[in-house]
Amino acid sequence: MSDQSHSAGETGPSQRGVEIAVALATLAFGIIILIGSLQVGIDWGFEGPKSGFFPFYVSLFIIVASLYNLLQATTLGGIKPGLFASVDQLKRVLSVVVPATIYVALVPFIGMYVSSILLIAVFMMWLGKYSLLHTLPIALGVPAVVYVVFERYFQIALPKGPIEYWLGL
Amino acid sequence: MEEIANLMQGFATVLEPFNIGVMIIGILLGVIIGVLPGLGGANGVAILLPLTFSMSPTSAIIMLSCIYWGALFGGAITSVLFNIPGEPWSVATTFDGHPMAQNGRAGEALTAAFTSSFVGALFAVVMITLVAPLVARFALQFGAAEKFGVYFLAFCSFVGLSKEPPAKTVVAMMIGFALAAVGLDQMTGQLRLTFGSTELLAGFDFLIAVIGLFGIGEILLTMEEGLQFKGKSATINPRVVLQTWMELPRYWATSIRSCIIGCWMGITPAGATPASFMSYGIAKRMSPRGKNFGKGEIEGVVAPETAAHAAGTSALLPMLSLGVPGSPTAAVLLGGLLIWGLQPGPLLFVEQKEFVWGLIASMYLGNIVGLLIVLTCVPLLAAMLRIPFPVIAPIILVLCAIGAYTVHNNPFDVVMMMVFGVLGYVLKKCDYPLAPLVLALVLGDKAEEAFRQALLGSQGSLTVFWSNGLVGSIMLLGLIALFWPIIQNGMARLRPRPAV
Amino acid sequence: MMSQTTRIAFGALAAVGVAGVLTPQPAQAQWQPSRPIEFIVPAGTGGGADQMARTIQGIVTKYNLTKTPMVVINKAGGAGGEGFLDVKASRNNPHKIIITLSNLFTTPLATGIPFNWKDLTPVAMLALDEFVLWVNAETPYKSVKDYVAAIKNAPPGQFKMGGTGSRQEDQIITVAIEKSTGVKFTYIPFRGGGEVAVQLVGNHVNSTVNNPIEAVAQWRGGKVRPLCVFDDAVLPYKETIVDNLSWASIPTCISQGLNLDYLMLRGIFMSPGATPEQVNYYVELFKKVRETPEWKKLMADGAFNQSFMVGDEYAKWVAKEEQRHRDLMKEAGFLAK
């Protein structure tokens, strides 16, 4: 999947660069865990090992292994050459990530239902180039089925926004 | 034999028309619950528990246990089709099930998954029927040290499996452990690694991470390569079920081994999730085709599904005979027993014969009915891969978001799911294995807890982990599993070479 | 800003208007829920609080006690802190109630999360859960005195007490026993009461302070033995459980020289900012629930203390209990730093 060859001339972030970034990120994560475990104590208390005992050693593993990965990516050269992904590919990925992120951000404000309708509609019309006539039944139908299944049948309240409140749902 | 007579009585109870109806409804609801990511068997049963209030206890337990069987079956569906594990125990099913679907073999993968589930469950039920009291006594042997031994074995049989660089495997696994540690430390009652944030109070849930890493990550990978699922060209073959069945008996060894692992994990009780991982790991080591695992090997579907279903079924035994649930779903069923006025425990088998044997009979019939229902759906389900990507992708996104929300009813989890999704995409492209991460996330805090409980009991002495025959042999098994590749090499060298 | 008089005039007008539309109702129009009632459980599925909440949900559904459905939602994260914070954040939402256990006090005290019971509106105490000191039936200890003597003869920490969670009720009781008798236990926390009881049956711990409902099955099976109950009077349930023994035959710990009584709250709170009418609606609802046979059966099965309190009496009881928990936890060194 990921080891697809890229034709020459394509541009995009290099595999190496991304590997370095990931190694740095895991290193930072390890340090955060290290700090967090030191905060709650890593020695033995009256109830056995303290809360930070276990995460402390975990963080050491992360830090050491991340440093090794960083070395691999920078000097040891254990990274396959080439691009992480081409610009075209990244654009396609972002065309999912961006609407999905907006969707996730909207849920607390306008509720699960309205935002779901918007997501499906945007996706189908923008990426799938479907007409409004094809889009609407699915965009409205899916949330409607979800409503019946979750709210009516399983009695699980999903997040709702002003529109649902106004409709009295 | 008295058990057989009791069982026949049980069948008579279950075969009443009302109970049959209840059973079918239960299975169907269960499959839906299993398919929806996030909404697990435990939640589903808990939600529907009050509905059974006006039924007789026997009908009620038939309905709820059938929801559970349905959820066990249903979990495999989205794992195979979309790489989204509907339930925690179907994570290991994605490893080979989804590649099979990508190769246009979705029907085979689903049939194998359903059939193995059935075999595992059947094995567990037969065991419950015949040796229930013996097994209950075995379960009592498990203290904290033994439990840690089991988790240790699960990790050992799984690490070192991946073809990815070892340092990356370590990072991935340790990130899993670290995430599992966030939130309340069960052992000291203190918060840790939350840095004052109330959002992190509940920690990172395994299900949310899995929905993101696997489900959303897969959508992003698919998107990168153009707008379609690879399995789109899959031909719909109505005879796929029969053809797969012809192939399955070849994997009898894996099947039996997985049944035993599953039953053991269900009884101890460690649960279906470690059972499925452990079974997958061991199958990969033992199978002659082990090197192909992860690329769409049918054995890689058989092993975890058999073990998960065997564990899920046998998890009911300690619940009935000891009052200790072997799985979260069993915990809810336990609450149900109490609500219906039944006391689980050593006397249930004596005092509530009709109920217990009705339940056991419904395990047989429920699984048969369940298998029939899901198998008839195989061609239909495989056809779902033909839905154009721009239509199915947003629907999957919506269902994932709802799933992430319903795990804890927390909108913040939906955000976390998205973060995990992007993380899953980047990590996968950089050759970080995701499986050790989720394994550590699901078992990490439990393993840590058992470790610390054992040390508390022994007042800090590590000898507790080989203090008796049981824990000693489990730990030894773990070490053997960990060093299996080396052992195998050594044995090959010792063997005299055939003359050329 | 409106002047005082205009506001009163407006109020009167509005009242007349409303009364005019809804005349069939008695003069003070009663509040009724208009949306599903969310019933928060600050504990996991399958535990004691969850069981009680789902029983109530079942009763409410079966007898049609509310106009809108009641939905049980588990928010167990952070020892229930997640659930409490959620209700705290739902100011003026009268469709949210929460069932509490001792973690109403212990969670904020042990973790320091920004929550206090005063952030919520008290509705009613439904019952109090009892605690019983249990040992394995194979051990020779027939009374608290035997047991304490045995612990004193062993090196400190040799005897293991199993319990649910850490810095919560079970451990608080354990520490209080230590204070009262001068013995030293090794306390081992587990996830749930059922698991704790099984650890006792398997002899992995020496004693537990399980709630009656968590250990009754093992008692009936002859696997565990109750030594005393942490209440100030013996339990009223006289129905035989095993060998001519009933809940009523367990002596109180106080009478056995263990000077300690501890009961756990099973009560209802609702979101902050609720009006007296809204509180009253729920009080009446729970009064009806308490009259049903299902509820009475649950009470008898779990040998609950059936105290019922509302209003000021309830609030005062909670305030007193909070102070007591603060003292107990301070002594034990369990308070968050």
**Which residues of chain A neighbour B411 with C-beta distances below 8 Å?**
107-108, 159
Decide if C211 is inside a domain: yes
Q: How many domains does chain A have?
A: 2
Of the candidates B297, B266, B378, B327, which has an alpha carbon nearest to the alpha carbon of residue B88? Answer: B327
Task: Report residue A68 as tokens.
Answer: 């090794």
* Same domain flag for C103 and C136: no
* Same domain flag for C282 and C304: yes
Residue C169's pLDDT is: 93
Decide if C30 is inside a domain: no
* Same domain flag for A94 and A143: yes
Decide if A68 is inside a domain: yes
* Same domain flag for A93 and A163: yes
* Same domain flag for C79 and C187: no
Which has more confidence, C334 or C47? C334
- For B11-21, what is the mean pLDDT? 90
Largest CA distance in chain A: 68
User: What is the SS3 assignment for C117?
Assistant: helix
Of the candidates C67, C66, C96, which has an alpha carbon nearest to the alpha carbon of residue C83? Answer: C96
Give the structural domain span for C171: 132-256
Q: Is B300 left (phi over 0), alpha (psi -120 to 50) or beta?
A: alpha
Torsion of CA A15, A19, A22, A27, to 10 degrees: -170
Q: What residue of A is the nearest CA neighbor of B171?
A: A62
* Same domain flag for C275 and C316: yes
pLDDT in tens, C16-34: 444 444 444 444 568 999 8
The enclosing domain of C49 has a CATH number of 3.40.190.150
> Which residues partner with C124 through β-bridges?
C268, C310
Does B432 sit within 8 Å of A142, measured CB to CB?
no
Which residue type occupies C133? L
* Same domain flag for C218 and C316: no
**Which residues of chain A neighbour C36 with C-beta distances below 8 Å?**
155, 157
* Same domain flag for A23 and A69: yes
Give the structural domain span for A161: 87-167
The residue out of C196, C228, C256 marking a domain boundary is C256
Decide if A3 is inside a domain: no
Assess whether pLDDT exceeds 80 at residue B211.
yes
> How big is the A-C interface in CB pairs under 8 Å?
13
The residue out of C256, C289, C310 marking a domain boundary is C256
**Which residues of chain C neighbour B328 with C-beta distances below 8 Å?**
44-46
pLDDT in tens, C276-288: 999 999 999 999 9
Residue B235's pLDDT is: 58
Cα–Cα dist C120/B423, whole Å: 39
Separation in Å, CA B181 to CA B148, B190, B296, C84: 16, 11, 33, 22
Residue entry with tokens 């808990």: B46
What is the pLDDT of chain A when averaged over all its residues? 87
Decide if A6 is inside a domain: no
Residue B496's pLDDT is: 64
The residue out of A44, A74, A104 marking a domain boundary is A74
The whole-angstrom distance between A128's CA and the closest CA on chain B is: 5
Decide if A100 is inside a domain: yes
Which has more confidence, B294 or C135? C135
The whole-angstrom distance between B311's CA and the closest CA on chain C is: 18
Q: Residue B179: in which H helix or E strand, if any?
A: helix B166-181
**How many percent of chain B have pLDDT more than 70?**
96
* Same domain flag for A159 and A93: yes
* Same domain flag for A95 and A158: yes
Which has more confidence, B87 or C59? C59
pLDDT in tens, A49-97: 888 999 999 999 999 999 999 998 888 776 777 888 888 899 989 989 9
* Same domain flag for C102 and C182: no
pLDDT in tens, C144-193: 999 999 999 999 889 999 999 899 999 999 999 999 999 999 999 998 88
ipTM of this complex prediction, to 2 decimal places: 0.91
Of the candidates C190, C163, C194, C195, which has an alpha carbon nearest to the alpha carbon of residue C177? Answer: C163
* Same domain flag for C118 and C186: no
* Same domain flag for A155 and A93: yes
Q: How many domains does chain C have?
A: 2
Tell me the pLDDT band of B498, cut-offs 50, 70 and 90: low
* Same domain flag for C123 and C216: no
Q: Which of B31, B45, B425, B429 to mutate to test the interface with A (most CBs of A within 10 A)?
A: B429
> Which residues partner with C133 through β-bridges?
C228
The enclosing domain of C183 has a CATH number of 3.40.190.10
Picking from C85, C217, C336, the nearest residue to B344 by CB comes out as C217
* Same domain flag for C252 and C279: no
* Same domain flag for C209 and C157: yes
Does B51 sit within 8 Å of C111, measured CB to CB?
no
The residue out of C224, C256, C288 marking a domain boundary is C256
Decide if A4 is inside a domain: no
The whole-angstrom distance between B453's CA and the closest CA on chain C is: 6
Residue entry with tokens 């075209």: A88
Decide if C2 is inside a domain: no
Residue C24's pLDDT is: 43
Decide if C284 is inside a domain: yes
Q: Which residues of C35-46 are buried (b: 16+ CB within 10 A; e: fewer)?
A: ebbbbbbbbbbb
* Same domain flag for C141 and C252: yes
* Same domain flag for C42 and C97: yes
Q: Which of A147, A152, A155 to mutate to test the interface with C (most CBs of C within 10 A)?
A: A155
